[in-house]
Amino acid sequence: MGKRKNRVCGADVHKDIIVATIQDSDDTEFQEKFGTTSIELGRFRDWLIAHNCEQVAFEATGVYWFPVYDALSPSIDTIVANPWMIKGIPRNKSDTLDSKWIAGNCLDGKIKRSRVLPKDGRDLRTLTRARSAYTKTRTQLRNRIHKYLALCGITLSSYISDIFGKSGRHILDGLIESKDIDTIMDGIPSGKVKNKREPIKASLGNGLDDVSRMLIKDTLELLDHLDEKVSDTSLEILGRLQERARDLAIVMSVPGIGFVSASIILAEIGDYHDFQKSEQLVKWCGLAPGLNESAGKKSPCGITKQGSKHLRTILVEIAQVVAKMSKNNLSSFFHRLRARKNYNVAITALARKLISIIFHLLINQELYQEDNCDTVKTKPIKKDLLCLSKEEQFKDGVAAIVDAFYYFKKKSSLEGGG
């Protein structure tokens, strides 16, 4: 419990309305309702200042609390509370009663302050989450094309690993344009795929019907548009991470982590100096083991999952990639644990180990290194970025950041050694 305040405000924030209650230690109470427009938020702020309110608290309800926080935090101490942390006691519920409940808990110092990233940090996190949403939608559209092909009895994916690559896309475009199958096969750009001419030709059957042709064409156009949006978003994220180039290079030095996963990790963590030790960050990710003990008996339980689900998800995905690698300490850790634990437990433990390593590397500004691992190498940087495609600009921008920091670390070590 924190220090008791003299006068505080509890607010129940919704999409179109804010119900606010001011309480003080003498049981004096003021109530008011406000809208959520910028003018109304300004009136809310002025109302709090006029009543000499020391602190205002409200729940993190969806995304509706963001503009409220931005409007109030420069002028008054603002607490954003996790709803799960303050709704444990059953009670009658209404907007007015909720605001009173929050005000009373805030007055007694019972509300735990949630961690709120600054505006630029929230913008970066919004961009990385938007890119992840684009990627998820792109996967759904690709699965839809697989379904349309299956409806026509076409089993192209049995012979081509990626039907959305150059050869696969050539075949799909030919089917949409109702070209002769032999003509389509003659124009395949990959020699490896051409060697499978007969089984691929047999898998195409009689081609597409009119409905599937129209739907696949429309879906491919949507996919092309999404690919462009993913590229644009990645370039924007890369530009915003220029100030954190060293952090980006450090995270990317860990096996299994590329630019996409590194940018998500940095965006979700924000300022890693907010955590005093790696255990706090592990708990914030929801990867800390739960505790379940009663009458001296401990029962097994999983991780808490009370943290950033986006960060937890990407860490588990990275762990699955690392687990399939060979000749590095992280994959060896997984296999040792896998020998006596089930797969999910071992993967979760590896994810927890990864975020702990990343935290220590960022705090100490060091690259990940192993005695039996080579330094990560990137492709040569092209000079004229303006003449390149968006994908090439993105790849060369990432390479420039990583190469520059590796050069900096190498030069520093040489100077220190001399």
- pLDDT confidence of residue 386: 37
Q: Do 332 and 269 have their domain in common?
A: yes
Query: Is residue 147 assigned to a domain?
Result: yes
Give the pLDDT score at 388.
44
Burial class (CB in 10 A: 0-12, 13-18, 19+), 287: buried
Per-residue pLDDT reduced to its tens digit, 60-78: 888 899 999 999 999 999 9
pLDDT value of position 22: 94
Is 145 found in the same domain as 82? no
Q: Are residues 163 and 270 in the same domain?
A: no
Are 125 and 184 in the same domain? yes
The answer to the question of residue 134 being in a domain is: yes
Quick one: pLDDT at residue 47? Answer: 95
Domain final position from 240, 269, 288? 240
The model's pTM is 0.83
Asked whether residue 38 is domain-assigned, the answer is yes
On whether residue 219 sits in a domain, the answer given is yes
Residue 341 located in a structural domain: yes
The residue type of 294 is S
- CATH classification at residue 53: 3.30.420.10
Residues 274 and 233 in one domain: no
pLDDT, tens digit (0-9, with 9 covering 90-100), for 180-209: 888 888 888 888 888 888 888 888 887 889
Q: Residue 402 domain-assigned?
A: yes
Residues 255 and 331: their CA atoms lie apart, in Å, by 10
What pLDDT, on a 0 to 100 scale, did the predictor assign at position 83? 82
Q: Residues 144, 147, 152, 156: is their CA dihedral positive or negative?
A: positive
Alpha carbon distance 284, 123 (integer Å): 20
194, 210, 240 — which closes off a domain? 240
Question: What pLDDT does residue 20 have?
Answer: 95
Count: domains in the chain: 4
Same domain, 140 and 87: no
Q: For position 377, what pLDDT does the model report?
A: 41
Residue 412 lies in a domain: yes
Domain that holds residue 345: 244-364
Instruction: Check whether residue 41 and residue 56 sit in a common domain.
Output: yes
Residue 371 lies in a domain: no
The per-residue pLDDT for 399 is 63
Other CB atoms within 10 A of residue 263 CB: 26
Task: Show which of 183, 217, 240 is a domain's final residue.
Answer: 240
Q: Residues of the chain whose pLDDT is less than 50? A: 1, 374-388, 418
**Residue whose C-alpha is closest to residue 21's, from 93, 86, 97:** 97
pLDDT at position 68 is: 95
